[in-house]
Structure 1
Amino acid sequence: MRGGLHHVTAITRDVQANVDFWMGFLGLSLVKQTAGFEDAQQLHLFYGDARGRPGTLISFLVWQGGAPGRVGHGQVAEIALTIPRGRIGDWLTRALDHGIAVQGPSREFGASVLRLKDPDGIIVKLVGTDQPDGDWPAAPSGLHAATLWSDDVFATTAFLAQFGFGITAVEAGVTRLTSPGGALDIRDASGFVPGIPGTGVIDHVALRVPDAAQVTTWQARLPGATTVHDRRYFTSLYVRDPAGVLIELASDGPGMAVDEPAEALGHKLVFPPEFAAQSADLRVSLPQFARPGEERTIMRQLPFVHRIHRPDAADGSAMVLLHGTGGNEADLMPLAHRIAPHATLIGVRGRSTEEGVARFFRRLSVDSFDQDDIRSEARAFRAFWDGAVSGYDLDPARLTVLGYSNGANFAGAVMGLYPGLIRQAVLLRPMAVLSQMPKVDLTGTRVLTLAGAQDPYGRYAPALNAWLRNSGADLTARQINAGHNLSPDDLTTAQQWL
């Protein structure tokens, strides 16, 4: 066992704020951006030194707009990074200049420490050590320690001893374990609440293992260990300590340069081999960000959580995407990009919930809906629409709504409640959901509705179509050979119509 820290992995809800802090403020290198190995619809970023060496790595799973977790026992709670002792004052000034709240300097285990938080609220400590000093400003040189909250310090300490971590000090309820490659601080959290996964929470700490063969050896020795995983850049194994803290064992190689030139690490989005065939759709679904100094889209605070995808060759058109029940703001992005490859995409997340899944309004039964909720959410959507048009410099005449199922139904309701707001729409598997469809003038509104011939809800589509026609909309109503699910015919028909 080589011992020491390999990396720490946490969860962020805002990829741009995350990049601005870890690259822009701390100055770490972004050495890898990849689709997740467990979930390819999840962006995974790795920061570290320019070579992406083990012991310098901090990684983030991006749950864009995700719910916050809770720090408690059974979790990694703090990340400590190494800086030269003489730069404590410079880092304090830098934090103040960047408007980042900072505490300290204080003393921990004989070292000067600054405490601050990243945009997700994760505690980051800058620890002054005797490392060589160089030019300023300079990024922290690597991981110094990680703090684990345990409700059984003795069991956690004994478990970590087998990986080369031994007790060297106890201070203010924290037991320090050290190895040649870093430290683990075990805080006694007995009696405290257990942790809950989510954004703003550290998922696990990874310990260094020389090679893949040693990872496999540890699998046989550790009760409860998972299967061995090939993470392309290292081989890994997961196990929980007796207090429930997730520990990963990660090999030193093959390293971050296996799929990118060493001098250009992190400059392109890469995909695990098993997801290569889906890369085009995934590239559209994953959240975009700008590096420090690059041109960026400033995200506006609007009534609905939303995500923007800007294509490489934008033509000035845009599509607003309204997902179906249980979907999210990224669901329709691959389809929309295929329909209109040069359109800017704005995916919107519904705010109502039903059995824990997102919707745009509440459902009372199969064909009965909460009318007050529809009107309230439509009012909020109008404010969102106006804010998006002005905030993102959109041309209302070149805006198309793409809605599916619950999202399509919501778009139809918005057209009835706020005629003229939506001027062009593609509605997939729609139905009328207002108890009384209002008498409005939709002259100048262009609509495509696509019903499924085998869709059990398809019998409700004609009423919406009749209302659209009677209201003066330029309607194209089609029935395709499909159920309620989306099909290739949706793509080709929408492409031709648009």
Structure 2
Amino acid sequence: MTSGIHHVTLITGDVQANVDFYAGFLGLRLVKRTGGYEDARQLHLFYGDRAASPGSLVTFLVWQGGSSGQAGAGQVSEIALAVAPGAIGYWLERALTHQVKVEGTGQEFGETVLRLRDPDNVLVKLVSASLPALDMPAGDIPPEQRIRRIRGVTLLSEVQEETSAFLGRFGFRPDAAEGPVQRLVSDIGDVIDVREAAGFWPGAPGTGTADHVALRAADAQEVEAVEAELRRRNSSLTNLHDRHYFTSLYVREPGNVLIEMASDGPGFTLDETLETLGTTLFMPPDTPDPDAMKVMLPQFGLPGEERVVYRDLIYKHRFFTPDMPDGSTLALLHGTGGDEADLMPLAHRAAPRATLLGLRGRSTETGSRRWFRSFGPSIFDQKDIRFESGALNAFFEEARAAYGFDADTLAALGYSNGANLLAAAMLLHPHMPRRAILLRPAMVLDAAPETDLRGAAMLLVLGADDAFRAQGEKLAEALAAAGADVTTRVVAGGHMLGDEDAPAIADWLGQAALGPT
């Protein structure tokens, strides 16, 4: 049996900060970027050595703007990367220069350790260890100081002995022990430290935590053989998957840490050359509407590349920049239960060269994200509408200053609850963006305020069978009465968006829509 660590997968809430730390500060190569296999809307990044070798791979599921988790019992609590003996001083100086949080240095199992925190607060240990060096990419780090490979991981287990015995099936054998930590070592020398965690708080998934550690198998046949053995023993539920770049088996060990067994092949050069690794975004096979999914994934720049520098504004937000932007910007306000990426595929179809700015609503109701509160069907919290309208107006003022928007090329697009707030905000704050697209809107203000919307242009797209159509028509009347240039389109269907929406938006914007995806 091939033994050793194949990769470690963690969760990040800030893709750009993650890339800057692992590719920039640590000097790893970004070897693959894909949509998630469990959720194609989730970006998955893989870092490693120049050839994406098993044993070098640290991967991240991107929960952009997601909530923080808590490392605890039943989780990987820290990862360790090997550096050359004598390299810790260099890395300490580099950490201080790059303003990386340093937890301190120490000795563990006879090795010098530098403990750092990544941008999501993951504990990353650099360990002075005599392990063979893999071929790391060239950069600003001297060859003799570069990261060599994964040194190991620490698991928190309430059943330390059972966890250790279980991992023996994957080629890890007991080595030394220090206090509450039992070290297991593989044939190639990397380690799993199993820490006794009886009485610890349970781990909570979220950004800044690890999802799983993957252990090596020579090929798919070895993975399948282990899966068959575990099924015969009925020791744990198992899930076998073809991950395109490797065959994968997931299993919970007795302490509840998620363990993956991953085959060494076929490897990450399956659909890229060694030279182009990590430069193209791939979607898992059978992804529904992959072009739409790509638009929804967060963008980033590698060290030295141009990137958006995000500002801390009232609403959480995300940009999508097309390959050849035309200078226009569409700000997007999702419907109930949506998020900042929901409307990006539709907006990209309607305006393929526009930069998209997706906003995230701040209110929640029965667990669904919204823009303002309601007290029941068609009963809206008027104070909250006015408060959030003021916040939205302030956001656009801040965004113009922060990102240099041209008011003449900025338009806003809202759907359902997002369209309702956008329309109310424009009635209450006539200096909002002067162009708006309202999809399936309703009049939510008890009474339209006296305001002057002369010079503003608005498109209302109503569903022929929408239960809120009459309220949308009432809104159109109120906007027109305030002086806005209002265009109303009625499309087939009800409240849900359909195939006619993108062409209607494109026609009003004077652009050519992309075909259905």
> TM-score, normalising length from structure 2?
0.94
- 2:127 is matched with 127
| Corresponding residue to 2:251 among 235, 239, 250 | 239
- Specify the SS of the correspondent of 1:324: coil
- 1:210 is matched with 218
- 2:148 is matched with 141
Establish whether residue 480 from structure 1 lines up as the match of residue 491 from structure 2. yes
- 1:197 is matched with 205
State the AA in 2 paired with 1:325.
T
Looking at structure 2, the residues matched to 372 and 267 of structure 1 have their Cα atoms a distance apart, in angstroms, of 48
- 1:251 is matched with 263
Is the 2:80–2:153 Cα contact (8 Å) retained in structure 1?
A: yes
- 2:186 is matched with 179
- 2:47 is matched with 47
Is the 1:27–1:138 Cα contact (8 Å) retained in structure 2?
A: no
Establish whether residue 294 from structure 1 lines up as the match of residue 305 from structure 2. yes
Establish whether residue 462 from structure 1 lines up as the match of residue 465 from structure 2. no
- Percent identity for Structure 1 against Structure 2: 52
Aligned length: 497
Is the 1:219–1:225 Cα contact (8 Å) retained in structure 2?
A: no
Quote how far apart the aligned CAs of 1:135 are.
Answer: 3.6
- 1:450 is matched with 461
Looking at structure 2, the residues matched to 259 and 29 of structure 1 have their Cα atoms a distance apart, in angstroms, of 17
- Specify the SS of the correspondent of 1:426: strand
1:356-414 deviations in whole A, cap 9, x for unaligned?
Answer: 12111112111111122222222222221112111111101111111000000010111
Is the 2:87–2:145 Cα contact (8 Å) retained in structure 1?
A: no
- Specify the SS of the correspondent of 1:374: helix
Looking at structure 1, the residues matched to 154 and 225 of structure 2 have their Cα atoms a distance apart, in angstroms, of 27
| Corresponding residue to 1:407 among 418, 439, 454 | 418
- 1:82 is matched with 82
Looking at structure 2, the residues matched to 26 and 137 of structure 1 have their Cα atoms a distance apart, in angstroms, of 13
State the AA in 2 paired with 1:208.
R
Quote how far apart the aligned CAs of 1:107 are.
Answer: 0.1
1:66-92 deviations in whole A, cap 9, x for unaligned?
Answer: 111111100011000000011110000
Looking at structure 1, the residues matched to 364 and 152 of structure 2 have their Cα atoms a distance apart, in angstroms, of 40
**RMSD over aligned Cα, in angstroms?**
1.3
Establish whether residue 73 from structure 1 lines up as the match of residue 73 from structure 2. yes
Is the 2:159–2:196 Cα contact (8 Å) retained in structure 1?
A: yes
Is the 1:424–1:446 Cα contact (8 Å) retained in structure 2?
A: yes
Quote how far apart the aligned CAs of 1:136 are.
Answer: 4.3
Establish whether residue 354 from structure 1 lines up as the match of residue 365 from structure 2. yes
Looking at structure 2, the residues matched to 113 and 12 of structure 1 have their Cα atoms a distance apart, in angstroms, of 24
State the AA in 2 paired with 1:103.
E
Quote how far apart the aligned CAs of 1:105 are.
Answer: 2.2
Establish whether residue 159 from structure 1 lines up as the match of residue 171 from structure 2. no
- Specify the SS of the correspondent of 1:281: helix
| Corresponding residue to 1:327 among 338, 342, 354 | 338
- Specify the SS of the correspondent of 1:69: coil
Looking at structure 1, the residues matched to 165 and 87 of structure 2 have their Cα atoms a distance apart, in angstroms, of 35
State the AA in 2 paired with 1:347.
G
Looking at structure 1, the residues matched to 168 and 143 of structure 2 have their Cα atoms a distance apart, in angstroms, of 37
Gaps of 5+ in 1: none
Looking at structure 2, the residues matched to 36 and 61 of structure 1 have their Cα atoms a distance apart, in angstroms, of 8
Is the 2:159–2:255 Cα contact (8 Å) retained in structure 1?
A: yes
1:21-59 deviations in whole A, cap 9, x for unaligned?
Answer: 000000000000011111111110000000000010000
Quote how far apart the aligned CAs of 1:138 are.
Answer: 4.5
Looking at structure 2, the residues matched to 135 and 120 of structure 1 have their Cα atoms a distance apart, in angstroms, of 27
Q: After alignment, is 205-214 or 263-272 more displaced?
A: 263-272
1:454-491 deviations in whole A, cap 9, x for unaligned?
Answer: 11222221211110111111001122111111011111
Establish whether residue 270 from structure 1 lines up as the match of residue 282 from structure 2. yes
Taking structure 1 as reference, are residues 100 and 351 closer, same or farther at Cα in structure 2, changes over 3 Å only? same
Establish whether residue 284 from structure 1 lines up as the match of residue 295 from structure 2. yes
Is the 2:103–2:117 Cα contact (8 Å) retained in structure 1?
A: no
Looking at structure 1, the residues matched to 366 and 311 of structure 2 have their Cα atoms a distance apart, in angstroms, of 29
| Corresponding residue to 2:315 among 301, 304, 328 | 304
Looking at structure 2, the residues matched to 138 and 380 of structure 1 have their Cα atoms a distance apart, in angstroms, of 49
Is the 1:420–1:445 Cα contact (8 Å) retained in structure 2?
A: no
State the AA in 2 paired with 1:313.
M
- 1:227 is matched with 239
Is the 2:84–2:144 Cα contact (8 Å) retained in structure 1?
A: no
Q: After alignment, is 375-384 or 16-25 more displaced?
A: 375-384
Looking at structure 2, the residues matched to 154 and 287 of structure 1 have their Cα atoms a distance apart, in angstroms, of 42
Looking at structure 1, the residues matched to 146 and 297 of structure 2 have their Cα atoms a distance apart, in angstroms, of 27
Taking structure 1 as reference, are residues 473 and 259 closer, same or farther at Cα in structure 2, changes over 3 Å only? same
Looking at structure 1, the residues matched to 130 and 81 of structure 2 have their Cα atoms a distance apart, in angstroms, of 13
- Specify the SS of the correspondent of 1:274: coil
State the AA in 1 paired with 2:109.
F
- 2:378 is matched with 367
Is the 2:36–2:43 Cα contact (8 Å) retained in structure 1?
A: yes
Looking at structure 2, the residues matched to 207 and 67 of structure 1 have their Cα atoms a distance apart, in angstroms, of 28
Q: After alignment, is 225-234 or 351-360 more displaced?
A: 225-234
Is the 1:225–1:237 Cα contact (8 Å) retained in structure 2?
A: no
| Corresponding residue to 2:395 among 370, 378, 384 | 384
